[in-house]
Structure 1
C-alpha cells in the first residue's frame, strides 16, 4: 500500500473534512494512483488547483504517487506568486467567457450586465454543460464540486458565495475581471449584443414616464428588450463600480 502526506492551502481546505483542514495528513493511495485522482478522491476539484509540489518540486496531474511522497496543493486565484512556474491549467486567452450551472442564474445575469459572454439554461445537463465549456473554451461556473471533477472539464471555477452580487465580486477578484469588463454591452436576458436605438423607433413601446424623461436607449435584436438609464440602470452601475473597489 502506498502512503503519502498531503497539505492543502487557503480555500482548498473548505473542500476537506474539518479534521484535515490547515494541516498535513497522511493518506493511503491506490496502487498507481495519479496526483489528480487522489486530489479529487480527497474532495478537491482539479479545476481549483493551480500548483502541486511533490517533495518540493512542481508536478503535473498525471504524476503517479509513490510511497512517502509529500504533496502540497495550492489553489487558483489566490495571492500566490507562481509566475516562475507553469500553472497546471491557465485560463483561456482573451476575455473570459462562461457557462453557468442551473443554480447560478442570478450570477449569469450580472456577468452579462458587466459584458461577459455567459451561457445559462436551467435545463442544461451536467455532461452537456461540461462538454460545452470545454468545446468553446469557456470557464464552467458551479457550486457543485462533482461537476468540476467531470473528466472533460478543463477550465472551471467553484463559486463559494451564495448571493449573486457577492458571487460577482468573488469572480472579479479571483479572475481579475475588471480589466475585461464592458458594462451594458450584452442583454441580461439572452446574452446577445446590445445596440443604440433612436428614441422614435421605440417610442410607442415605452412607458409614459420613460417617454418624457429619457432620451438614450439600447435594444437587443434577439429578444427586443429595451434598456434605458432609469433607477434600475443606476443601481446596476453602482454595483459594477463597487466591483473595482478593493476590500
Structure 2
C-alpha cells in the first residue's frame, strides 16, 4: 500500500503532483523517514511547520511505512525562531539571516530596515549550510536543493521574485513590522551605524549635502556616511507602498 500524503495551504504548490491535487498516494519501496518522503515529492523540510502521521504529531525522523497517512502543514506566521517546537527542538537565541546570492538584493533591504542579514557570496552549498548551522542564522534562498541539506534547520524558500516583494514576504512571515529600525545598519557591511557630528565628517561631504543636512551616521567598518537624502526618501516611499511598517530614523 502507498503512503497517502496531503500538503496543506501554500505547500501544495511545491508538491510534484500538485496538478493532480494536494492529496496522493506515494509508493514506498523501503522504510523511510518523514523528511525523506516529504522532500521526495514536495517542498524542502525548511518549509514545514507541522507533520501528522496517522493523526499524531511527529518529527522529521519518524519512520513512514506503507499504508500510513501524512498531513504536512506550513510554518505559521509569525514564526518565532526562539521557540522550541517538535520539528525544531533547539531554537535560535535570536533572529538573524544568512542570505543566498540568488536573493542578494533582499540582504540589502533587510539591512535597510535594521535586520541582521549576512551574505554568503562565493561560498559552496555545503559551506553555506554549515555557516547557517554554525552562526544560528535563518537561511534565505530560492534554491530547493540547498534548503534540503540536513544541516539547514532554519530556512525559507523565498516565494516572491521581486526584491521588495521578497522583503514584504519575510517581514510578514517573521512578524517584523514592529521591530523595524530603518536606516540603522550599513546596507553594505551589515554593521550598526554610529552617529557622527557634522563637524567630524564635514570634509567628506559635498557642498549641497553640507548645506542642507545636519544629521549624519557612519559605518565603523567601511566609513560610508549616511544621511536622510533623496535615496532615504525613496526607501521610505517603497516601504509604505509595500505595506511595510516604517519606524525610520534619519541616517
Q: TM-score, normalised by structure 1?
A: 0.90
The 5 Å alignment of 1:148-187 reads 148-187=147-186
Secondary structure at the counterpart of residue 152 of structure 1: coil
> Structure 1, residues 15-45: CA drift from partner, whole Å, max 9, x if none?
1235456431001123220100101111310
Deviates most, 169-178 or 20-29? 20-29
Secondary structure at the counterpart of residue 46 of structure 2: helix
Secondary structure at the counterpart of residue 102 of structure 2: coil
Partner of 1:230: 229
Check 1:87–1:78 CA distance in 2 against 1; reply closer, same or farther (3 A cut): farther
Aligned residues: 240
- CA apart distance, 1:207: 1.5
Partner of 1:39: 38
Secondary structure at the counterpart of residue 64 of structure 2: coil
> Structure 1, residues 150-187: CA drift from partner, whole Å, max 9, x if none?
11111111100011110000001111112332222210
The 5 Å alignment of 1:82-121 reads 86-89=85-88, 92-93=91-92, 95-121=94-120
Residue 203 (1) aligns with residue 202 (2): yes
Query: Is residue 50–residue 87 contact of structure 1 (8 Å, CA) maintained in 2?
Result: no
Query: Is residue 8–residue 22 contact of structure 1 (8 Å, CA) maintained in 2?
Result: no
**Unmatched 5+ stretches in structure 1:** none
Partner of 1:139: 138
> Structure 1, residues 80-103: CA drift from partner, whole Å, max 9, x if none?
9xxxx9442278445410011111
Q: TM-score, normalised by structure 2?
A: 0.88
Check 1:92–1:199 CA distance in 2 against 1; reply closer, same or farther (3 A cut): farther
Secondary structure at the counterpart of residue 63 of structure 2: coil
Partners of 1:21 and 1:165 in 2: how far apart? 32
Query: Is residue 35–residue 63 contact of structure 1 (8 Å, CA) maintained in 2?
Result: yes
Partners of 1:41 and 1:183 in 2: how far apart? 40
Check 1:35–1:91 CA distance in 2 against 1; reply closer, same or farther (3 A cut): same
Query: Is residue 114–residue 182 contact of structure 1 (8 Å, CA) maintained in 2?
Result: yes
